Amino acid sequence: MKFFEDIRVGETAEIGRHTFTADEIKAFAARFDPQPFHLDEAAAARSQFGRLCASGWHTACMWMRLVIEHRRREDAERRARGEPVATLGVSPGFRDLRWPNPVYPGDTISYATEVIEMRPSSSRPDWGIVTARNTGANQRGEPVLSFISSAFVERSQKQRDPSP
Amino acid sequence: MKFFEDIRVGETAEIGRHTFTADEIKAFAARFDPQPFHLDEAAAARSQFGRLCASGWHTACMWMRLVIEHRRREDAERRARGEPVATLGVSPGFRDLRWPNPVYPGDTISYATEVIEMRPSSSRPDWGIVTARNTGANQRGEPVLSFISSAFVERSQKQRDPSP
């Protein structure tokens, strides 16, 4: 992870990609979203989706997984170059999540992120808050996921109490 | 599922509850959110959380699971009373997701929902859009999850084209 001071609004990154299989779509749905169109091809054929498709939560959770792997690669590269690695703090949450198109078995989703806002944290002076637009698109370029996330990111220049 | 016309703003429902175990917290994290504080007690003890805690996505996915089970019970009750069952449509997405407190092993999270807005769909006249505030709280009443969801819900009185 880069430090807050090294991040710029407008920065984009390819997070990674994942191909969803029918088996994993069904396994996720059985555990967390047991609706017929996520569980069974025949039932899905009779649904509004017309065929088996992934739970939107599955599409979102895979974003999280790829973000962690992306950060690990980034951190390893920074360490290899002898650069310090910033700590990523908790996420205060996110907003405006959309699933504009279904994810079908065999679809490969490419996830990307763009920094859209940055501000110092008023309550935690050693941290900044980075807001990003996160997206997923299938192999035809159709959007399947979008949401805005915020996260605390460590500052390289630690803030000191102002002189009295 | 009730029909759009039978739902009222301000309606609340207890969706269900779930006790998170260390094993399932780690299994979810290994698959979707492999950060040390979700995977390993010793690493979590050194983290900002101080102990193992669930991925926020896990807390949210368990909401989804309990919502489906809640609707199934509701539909079975309606059928037992001889009442028709409405179709729940796709979700256009949600907004303002917050994880105000961590979920630790052994915590029992109670999920609830409150209808906060209703409107007919302008693009799909046989459907209405129901917006709800969804929450999760632990056994001490501390909030651990909140977000606003919207979903298409079937209308009982099908809309016809207005007379010319």
Q: pLDDT (tens digit, 9 = 90+) per residue, A100-147?
A: 999 999 999 999 999 999 999 988 889 999 999 999 999 999 999 999
**By the CB < 8 Å criterion, does B77 face chain A?**
no
- Give the 3-state secondary structure percentages of chain A, helix then strand then coil, rounded to 5: 30, 30, 40
Instruction: Measure in Å the smallest separation between the Cα of A164 and chain B Cα atoms.
Output: 30
Q: pLDDT (tens digit, 9 = 90+) per residue, B109-143?
A: 999 999 999 999 988 889 999 999 999 999 999 99
Which residues of chain B from 132 to 161 reach within 8 Å of chain A, CB to CB? Answer: 147
**By the CB < 8 Å criterion, does A61 face chain B?**
yes
Contact B112, B12 (CB under 8 A): yes
- What Cα–Cα distance (Å) separates residue A97 from each residue in A36, A145, A149, B68? 23, 7, 9, 20
**Per-residue pLDDT averaged across B73-94, rounded?**
88
The interface predicted TM-score (ipTM) is 0.89
Q: B135: which chain A residues are within 8 Å (Cβ-Cβ)?
A: none
CA distance B146 to B97: 6
Task: Identify which of A82-96, A128-142, B81-95, B144-158 has the greatest average pLDDT.
Answer: A128-142
How close are the terminal C-alpha atoms of chain A, in Å? 34
Cα torsion through A107, A113, A114, A119, rounded to 10: 150
Residue A162 pLDDT more than 60? no
What pLDDT does residue A88 have?
77
CB atoms A65 and B32 under 8 Å:
yes
Contact B151, B90 (CB under 8 A): yes
What pLDDT does residue A160 have?
53
Tell me the whole-structure pTM to 2 decimals. Answer: 0.90
CA distance B9 to A60: 29
DSSP assignments along B135-161, one per residue = EEE-TTS-EEEEEEEEEEEE-SS---P
Q: pLDDT (tens digit, 9 = 90+) per residue, A44-86?
A: 999 989 999 999 999 999 999 999 999 999 999 999 999 999 8
In this structure, what token pair is assigned to residue B110? 């109670």
Instruction: Measure in Å the smallest separation between the Cα of A92 and chain B Cα atoms.
Output: 6
Average pLDDT along chain A: 92
**By the CB < 8 Å criterion, does B43 face chain A?**
no
What pLDDT does residue B160 have?
53
Query: Residue-wise over A115-145: b if at least 16 C-beta within 10 A, else e?
Result: beebeebeeeebbbbbbbbbbbbbeeeeebb
Q: Which residue has the higher pLDDT, B150 or A1?
A: B150
What pLDDT does residue A143 have?
97
